Amino acid sequence: DTGVSQDPRHKITKRGQNVTFRCDPISEHNRLYWYRQTLGQGPEFLTYFQNEAQLEKSRLLSNRFSAERPKGSFSTLEIQRTEQGDSAMYLCASSAPGGRYNEQFFGPGTRLTVL
């Protein structure tokens, strides 16, 4: 399968714990995005990498959130001291260099439940 993969698919954690999610983009895609989707809403942009550089962060990304893409391949999103409001689907997407309309290919998401 050459699509975007995410791990884990589901995560249940207790409030206050730290969690880390992984995203493997489509190989040869140099751009990687994280979005958050809550129930009944569309995805909301969190952050974007071009290669290993994090070029944009949403104000939604509080200081408890950190994302990395150390070698320009896979990416991790860590949430520290989770809160119940962090419960959501975390989606990763990737896109190829160039292209005018920025077609983004999404992974299946990691569903986080904070108890």
Q: Which residues bind another protein (CB under 8 A)?
A: 4, 31, 33, 40-45, 48, 50, 55-56, 58, 91, 93, 100-109, 111
CB of 48 to another protein, least distance (A): 5
Report whether 110 contacts 87 (CB < 8 A): no
Report whether 77 contacts 34 (CB < 8 A): yes
| Closer of 62 and 102 to another protein (Cβ) | 102
DSSP-derived pairing of the beta strands 31-37 and 44-50: antiparallel
| Closer of 43 and 69 to another protein (Cβ) | 43
CB of 72 to another protein, least distance (A): 15
- Give residue 103's identity as a one-letter amino acid code: E
Sign of CA dihedral 53, 73, 3, 17: negative
CB of 12 to another protein, least distance (A): 15
| Closer of 24 and 44 to another protein (Cβ) | 44
| Closer of 21 and 48 to another protein (Cβ) | 48
- Distance, in Å, from the CA atom of 41 to the CA atom of 111, rounded to the nearest integer, reads 14
